[in-house]
Amino acid sequence: MSDVLKKISEPTLRVVGYVVLVVMCMYILTPLLWLLLTAFDPEGGPYLKLPKSITLDNFVMLFIGKPIKGRAGAAHPFYMNVWLKNSFFIASVVLVIIIITASMAAYALSRLDFTGKSLLMTFILLIGFMPSMAKILPLFKLCLMFGFIDNLFGVAVVIASSLLPTQIWILKGFFDSIPRELEEQAWVCGCGYLSTLMRVVLPVAGPGIAVIALLSFLGAWGSFTIPLILIRSEDLYPVSLGIASVFIHNPGEIGLAVDYGPLCALSIVYALPSLAIYYLTRKYLMQIKVGKMEVR
């Protein structure tokens, strides 16, 4: 390998690099290109083609909730406004819960030295390793006890708990990279522990917070299984369940009898908030500090 690479001159390598890059980008973008085109196509189907005319009907249909006259439209009603509202509620509660609990826990894990710390870290990572499908019934029973069935807040709490381990790990990496002297300086100046966290650690760990905000928003915004288990009534559906309710008739047959125009429009609307959050946090994404797990 090394000999081969050595013989390849820089320009050749560059050309090969660009070719691979183009192939990769095609792999990534072609499916999405279809999504974009079909959303504006009055007669789109499950294949890539340039629309003959461009329409916004598909988007309009999402929000007025019923098929537009004179158009073969979705057979099912849409409640896009409601779904979006529910998804937003879930995602923002998850965001708040995760930022608070993960930053406190990660801070303690980063700053405390005690025997068994690495064990605790491993435990936190492994605690969610039982497949969520296998946990459906216990989770359901548990949530019944807490009154979390058909309760958006409850759904958010459960989603947060499933996203928490990774976020704690990532954030701990950020905290580990902040010199301890900064906090000790704050203590000496009279700051309590909570106010040190708020005034010094969190602002300095800003990139870390941005990263976990993005990751947990994406996780909550896209979550499907947990709402599926915990939400019964249709007016509490988040977008993910809404899509399924409209477009999945039977599992394994998603290709059939789907109204592609509205589906693609819906997907695009669904993806916009995620893109917005990405846009806000993009600067920090490459700064994830997985740190060393080296926990003394």
Partner 1 sequence: MSVVEVQLEGVTKRFGNVVAVNDLTLKIKDKEFMVLLGPSGCGKTTTLRLIAGLEKVTKGRIFFKDEVVDDGETIFIPPQKRNVSMVFQSYALFPHMNVFENIAFPARIKKLPNREVKKRVYELADLLRIKDLLNRKPHELSGGQQQRVALARALMIEPSVLLLDEPLANLDAKLRVYMRAELKRIQKEFSCTTVYVTHDQIEAMSMADRITVLNMGKLQQVGTPDELYDKPSNLFVAGFIGSPPMNIIECTLVGTKYLDFGSFKLKIPEDWAEVLYREELVFGIRPQDILVSKSKRDGAVNFYVYVSEPLGDRIILTLVKDDMMIKALADKSTRVNMREEVWVIFNLEKAHIFDKKTGKLII
Partner 2 sequence: MSLLRYLKRYSSEIILASFLVPALVLLLIFQLIPTIWTIWFSFTDMALIGKKLIHPSFIGLKNYVDMLNDSIFWQSMKVTFEYCLASLVLRFILGLLAALYLTSKMFRGKTILAAIFLLPYIIPGAIHPYVWISMLDTRYGTLNRILLFFGLTPQSWVYKRAMESVVMINSWAGYALAMLILSSAITSIPKEFYEVADIYGASRWQKFSKITLPLIKYPVILSLVLIFKEDIDDFTYVYMFTEGGPHYRTELLSLYAYHKAFAYFELGYGCAVGVIIAIIVFVLTLAQLKLGGV
Q: State yes or no: residue 188 binds partner 2 (CB under 8 A).
A: no
Chosen from partner 1, partner 2, none, partner binding at 185 (C-beta under 5 to 8 Å by type):
partner 1
Q: State yes or no: residue 288 binds partner 2 (CB under 8 A).
A: yes
Q: State yes or no: residue 14 binds partner 2 (CB under 8 A).
A: yes
Q: State yes or no: residue 282 binds partner 2 (CB under 8 A).
A: yes
What's the Cα-to-Cα distance from 288 to each of 38, 94, 173, 211, 291, rounded to whole Å? 36, 20, 8, 7, 9
Residue selected from 39, 157, 186, 246 as contacting partner 2 according to rule CB under 8 A: 157
The 10 Å Cβ neighbour count of residue 274 is 15
Nearer of residues 184 and 234 to partner 1, judged by Cβ:
184
- Residues contacting residue 24 through CB under 8 Å, at least 6 positions apart: none
String marking each residue 186-215 x if it binds partner 1 according to CB under 8 A:
xxxxxxx--x----x--xx-x---------
Place of tokens 């990534």: 28
Q: State yes or no: residue 160 binds partner 2 (CB under 8 A).
A: yes
Residue selected from 136, 149, 202, 204 as contacting partner 2 according to rule CB under 8 A: 136
Chain residues binding partner 1 by CB under 8 A are 179, 181-182, 184-192, 195, 200, 203-204, 206
